[in-house]
Amino acid sequence: MGLDDAVYRRLKKQVGDAYITRNPEDRVCYSYDAAPGQSFMPDAVVFPESEAQVADIMRLAWEKRIPVIPRGSGSGMTGGAVPVQGGLVMAMTRMNRILEIDTDNFIATVEPGVIVADLHTAVENKGLFYPPDPASSAVCTIGGNVGECAGGPRAVKYGVTRDYVLGLGAVLPCGDIIHTGVCTAKGVAGYDLTRLIVGSEGTLAIVTRITLKLLPKPAYVATMAVCFDDMEKAARTVSGIMRRAVIPRCVEYLDDASLALVRNQLQSDLPDQTRALLILELDGDETQVKSQTEQIRAFCMQSGALDIRMATDPVQAAAIWQARKALSPTLYQIASQKLNEDIVVPISKIPDMVSHIQTLQQESGLTIVSFGHAGDGNIHCNIMYDKTDAAQVKQAHNAVDKLFAATLALGGTITGEHGVGLTKKGYLSWEIGEKEQAIMKQIKAVFDPRQILNPGKIFS
């Protein structure tokens, strides 16, 4: 039957006239996310305000076999929020309350539409700390982070989203409400449904409530920018740093093309011969951090660093991170389109991967900009091209093939935090075997036997 006039009227009754739309100008805004070239019009967009409303909507969608696509801020890079079969986009932005911050038990309970940066501010004002910090934290939602298992710069020391999700409230495709996990530090009763849903890209259930583990806010943070005249030298330094007893909370790198875009934002004059930059951050007890900082400084200089710039106050530190987080949108100064791939390789293989990327750039004739979370081997490789030039489009996609092949040959993975979604599902079989995929598809069928929840994602 689908989303006809009668169904639309029932949906309006469930959420109110103001919170559902099928106007073309509204629907087009929800036809795409941050993945290039992926756009499909939904039949309608709905904005629930409660778990009960989500359940009511899903019961109706189940009855009428209407595809439903959960959506946060639409900042995903792989088409995970794109309605490839039309249907109903469920935008979770109204469910944006921080329900509780429990300072005694180091727990926060939030709704999925909470902006990650707002969560950071709220818990830090209470002396607590939520480590996951993706580059899009100023706009992305915690629900989207749960769907993709987002990471960010601090993952090298603190881990990724799944390491902080203790429990979930969620609605199944049939409209049933489930509660998974615990609100304690330990809990192993039954299968771990929480971790199964985290990173499932909105294909198993719609998350409506999230219980998060928090940490004490670090007493002291030191931020430094380390300049190198060669990208491979910087990559070897990363490998060396991670072999030492000191574990920074962030080890980011920017290549020469990245630096050209953000050099003016760094609030520091870098040496003219700088061709690569490492951003290092350490946290903890002030005395200990200062001692560790000196160890890292000494090692970097021994490894051939040109210069090391310490942030002297939080404003300078913030400027460094603002420049890093501004990189992705500024790439369009180079070319009209990009393929942004978030590969991961073992830390010891970072120099090899950097060499592969440089060779790939020479072979393709395209500008390839790389930066990312070098401390855990997560490299954001951006292949830039003119989308109106058919030859460049072909070269760009061939470059992705070669990039993924090299990544897997080094023992890596084709996606560290962006997910598979729509754009990488053709490559899933490169990494995941037939038997393993069959198990995953069976899990999907248990949760969603009618295949209505975020259809067309992950699996070809």
pLDDT tens sequence across 122-140 = 999 999 999 999 989 999 9
pLDDT tens sequence across 140-155 = 999 999 999 999 999 9
pTM of the full structure? 0.95
Q: Which pLDDT does position 423 carry in this prediction?
A: 96
In three-state form (DSSP H/G/I as H, E/B as E, the rest C), the secondary structure along the chain is: CCCCHHHHHHHHHHHCHHHEECCHHHHHHHCCCCCCCCCCCCCEEECCCCHHHHHHHHHHHHHHCCCEEEECCCCCCCCCCCCCCCCEEEECCCCCCEEEEECCCCEEEECCCCEHHHHHHHHHCCCEECCCCCCCCCCCEHHHHHHHCCCCCCHHHHCCHHHCEEEEEEECCCCCEEEEECCCCCCCCCCCHHHHHCCCCCCCCEEEEEEEECEECCCEEEEEEEEECCHHHHHHHHHHHHCCCCCCCEEEEECHHHHHHHHHHHCCCCCCCCCEEEEEEEEECHHHHHHHHHHHHHHHHHCCCCEEEECCCHHHHHHHHHHHHCHHHHHHHCCCEEEEEEEECCHHHHHHHHHHHHHHHHHHCCCEEEEEEHHHCEEEEEEEECCCCHHHHHHHHHHHHHHHHHHHHCCCECCCCCCCCCCCHHHHHHHCCHHHHHHHHHHHHHHCCCCCECCCCCCC
pLDDT tens sequence across 306-343 = 999 999 999 889 988 988 888 888 899 999 999 999 99
Q: Which pLDDT does position 242 carry in this prediction?
A: 85
Q: Which pLDDT does position 265 carry in this prediction?
A: 76
Q: Which pLDDT does position 243 carry in this prediction?
A: 85
Residue 89's pLDDT band, with cuts at 50, 70 and 90, is: very high
Q: Which pLDDT does position 460 carry in this prediction?
A: 87
Q: What is the mean pLDDT of residues 245-260?
A: 91
Q: Which pLDDT does position 267 carry in this prediction?
A: 63
Query: For a pLDDT cut of 90, what percent of the chain falls above it?
Result: 87
Q: What is the mean pLDDT of residues 387-406?
A: 97
pLDDT tens sequence across 286-305 = 999 999 999 999 999 999 99
Question: Range with the lowest mean pLDDT among 62-76, 132-146, 147-161, 249-263?
Answer: 249-263
Residue 161's pLDDT band, with cuts at 50, 70 and 90, is: very high
Q: Which pLDDT does position 1 carry in this prediction?
A: 52
